[in-house]
Structure 1
Amino acid sequence: MTAAHTDPSVSAPKLGLRERKKLQTRQAIRQAAYRLFAEQGYDATPVDRIAEVAEVSPSTVFRYFPTKEDIVLTDEYDPVIADTLRDRPAGEPPVTALRKTLTAVLAQMYEEDTAETLARVRLICESPTIRARMTEHSAVTTRLLVEVLSERTCRPVDDLELRVVAGAAMGALTEAFFHWVETGQHGRLSDLVEDALRVLERGLTL
């Protein structure tokens, strides 16, 4: 999510044995990476060490995550975002549907793995290399949002207004992450994200 690209697998019970093993390997690599990042810092943690702790080869790490930044940015939530957005009431304004979708999925991420979600947000905000890579990942999620909004509104997928709305929503999400980290991580992150997305609904008031 959130400014992150996605793996194709989402729901483990629906996967075959091979796909489940791939998902388990991805999770093992991420868990090892986050543990090492917490112990010795992101920049000081080489991929070889992540592979050693995850008990896989470095080539396996790169097969699942082309760069070290992708370990932080890749998740399984883009399909969840798409499905949640599709399930919003048909008459709901697009920006409202985006706000409720993104806050709901963020809450799900937080509930399923609080520590990893918070560590991920902090790393995104604190590492310039991760932020640079995040632009590409965010573009993928933005395109997905545009596709679903196109389905909901019957507008063409290349509609400029849809692109602006989806891009603005992703920008609001990212700025909420930055603000949360920069201000000492006070309050609930999901509340801050919802507040940021509400700005898009009502506009900037002076």
Structure 2
Amino acid sequence: MGLRERKKAKTMAAIQMNALRLFRELGYNATTVEQIAEAAEISPSTFFRYFATKEDVVIRDNYDPLLIASFESQPPGLTPLQAIRNAMVSGTANLSAEELATISERNRLIMSVPELRAGMLNNLTGTLQVITEMVAKRTGCMADDPAVHALAGAVIGVNISVMLYYAEHPEADFAKLLDEALARLEAGLPL
């Protein structure tokens, strides 16, 4: 990442961190964009350069590009699901304790505010498309192949279940939960 990208990522993280703090202190609905901007020491117009809405500050993350890069670096002999599992687990295993705490807090907030749950679904639809395109490219299948969509949808379903569980059990090991859930999917979901 170049200097400009690092600066943007740092500003985005500062906005999100201040927003989460204000949501904890004042409540989601009572917190305004202006309050978030003031706490992050930016103007409201700068806030809107990073986030389209107040909902977006909770829902948006920068994990899709990291997932793509990690997926594309997986060995060619792996199945698409094995490559996705390795990419997702390696990405989460490298998260700091602070990043994991933020993920847990964001998930709890998303689950408690109806408009955020709806926004999360929209965000996950975008991630579903990213996974679909990654798998299609790796396998040589068409992106509109129903089997490719089914695999991507199953991965998103696993991700949602892990997010929900982790929101309620922040003491759990997120990377381990994700790895175990994807392993179950890979094994055909035995119970």
TM-score by length of structure 2 reads: 0.89
The partner residue of 2:46 within 44, 60, 64 is 60
Superposition deviation, residue 110 in structure 1: 4.1
**Which 5+ residue runs of structure 2 have no aligned equivalent?**
none
Deviations 1:37-96 (A, max 9, x none): 222232322212101111222232223111111111212221110010111111111112
Aligned to 2:180: 195
* RCO comparison, higher one (Cα < 8 Å, 6+): 1
Superposition deviation, residue 157 in structure 1: 1.7
Q: Distance in 1 between matches of 2:46 and 2:171?
A: 38
Q: Distance in 2 between matches of 1:15 and 1:171?
A: 36
Q: Does 1:91 align with 2:91?
A: no
Count of residue pairs the alignment pairs up: 191
Aligned to 2:126: 140
Q: Distance in 2 between matches of 1:87 and 1:71?
A: 30
Aligned to 1:81: 67
Superposition deviation, residue 121 in structure 1: 2.3
Counterpart amino acid of residue 126 in structure 2: V
Q: Does 1:39 align with 2:31?
A: no
Q: Distance in 2 between matches of 1:126 and 1:195?
A: 26
Partners of 2:55 and 2:116 within 8 A in 1? yes
Counterpart amino acid of residue 122 in structure 2: E
Partners of 1:109 and 1:117 within 8 A in 2? no
Q: Does 1:48 align with 2:34?
A: yes
Aligned to 1:185: 170
Partners of 1:94 and 1:149 within 8 A in 2? yes
Q: Distance in 2 between matches of 1:101 and 1:200?
A: 15
Q: Distance in 2 between matches of 1:151 and 1:111?
A: 34
Superposition pairs of residues 91-130 of structure 1, within 5 angstroms: 91-110=77-96, 113-130=99-116
Aligned to 1:6: none
Q: Distance in 2 between matches of 1:83 and 1:62?
A: 27
TM-score by length of structure 1 reads: 0.83
Identity %: 39
Q: Distance in 2 between matches of 1:155 and 1:111?
A: 38
SS of the residue corresponding to residue 89 of structure 1 reads coil
Q: Distance in 2 between matches of 1:20 and 1:35?
A: 22
Aligned to 1:205: 190
SS of the residue corresponding to residue 109 of structure 1 reads coil
- Root-mean-square deviation over aligned CA pairs: 2.0
Q: 1:20 to 1:93 in 2, by over 3 A?
A: closer
Q: Distance in 2 between matches of 1:69 and 1:114?
A: 20
Partners of 1:125 and 1:177 within 8 A in 2? no
Q: 1:110 to 1:123 in 2, by over 3 A?
A: farther
Q: Does 1:161 align with 2:123?
A: no
